[in-house]
Amino acid sequence: MSDAATFAAVFAALFAAHSFGDHWVQTHSQACRKGAPTAAGRLACLRHVATLTTTKAFTLAAVAAVTGIALTPLMVLLGLTVDAVSHYWADRRVTLARLADALGKGDFYRMGAPRPGTDDAPHLGTGAYALDQSWHVAWLFVAALLIAA
C-alpha cells in the first residue's frame, strides 16, 4: 500500500474512533468532571483519554488486519501518545479557553455558553465545542502523519 493510502486509512480510522470514543465511549461522569480544576477532574480526564486512546488503538489494529497495511508499533505508540497528550490538554478546558482568548477567539469560545448556575454542558453545541473538536481533528492529522511515517 502506498504511503498516501496508509496515511488516508490511518486518518480515517483515527477520525472514526475519535468521534465514537469522544461521544459514545466517554462516560457522562467523565464528560462533566474532566475540566474541573481538581484531582478528581484530572483523573476523570485521564480516564477519558485512556478509553479514547484504547478505542483508537483497536480501530487501527482492525484497519491493519483488514487492509494488510503494516504499521510500525513504535510509530503507532508515538502517534497515539501525541494525540492523547493533546487531547488531555484541550479537555482540561481552561487550557483551550486560554488559548482561544490569546488568539482572539475567546468570544467565539464562549458563544452558546449556558447561564451561570445551570447544569447544561457548555462545551456541547457551542463555540467551545467547535474549537475543541477542531483542535482534536488537527492533532489526529499529526498523529496519522506520525503513524504512517
For residue range 71-104, list pLDDT tens digits in order: 999 999 999 999 999 999 999 999 999 999 999 9
pTM: 0.87
Question: What does the alpha-carbon distance between residue 88 and residue 35 come to, in Å, rounded to a whole number?
Answer: 10
Q: What is the mean pLDDT of the chain?
A: 92
- Domain ranges within the chain, ordered by starting residue: 3-148
The pLDDT of residue 123 is 57
* Burial of 134 per CB tally in 10 Å (0-12, 13-18, 19+): exposed
User: d(Cα 109, Cα 130) in Å, to the nearest integer?
Assistant: 8
Give the pLDDT mean for 127-147: 92
At position 46, the amino acid (one-letter code) is L
What are residue 115's phi and psi, to 5 degrees? -65, 145
Provide the grid cell at 1. Answer: 500500500
* pLDDT of 116 higher than 90: no
Statement: residue 44 has pLDDT above 80:
yes
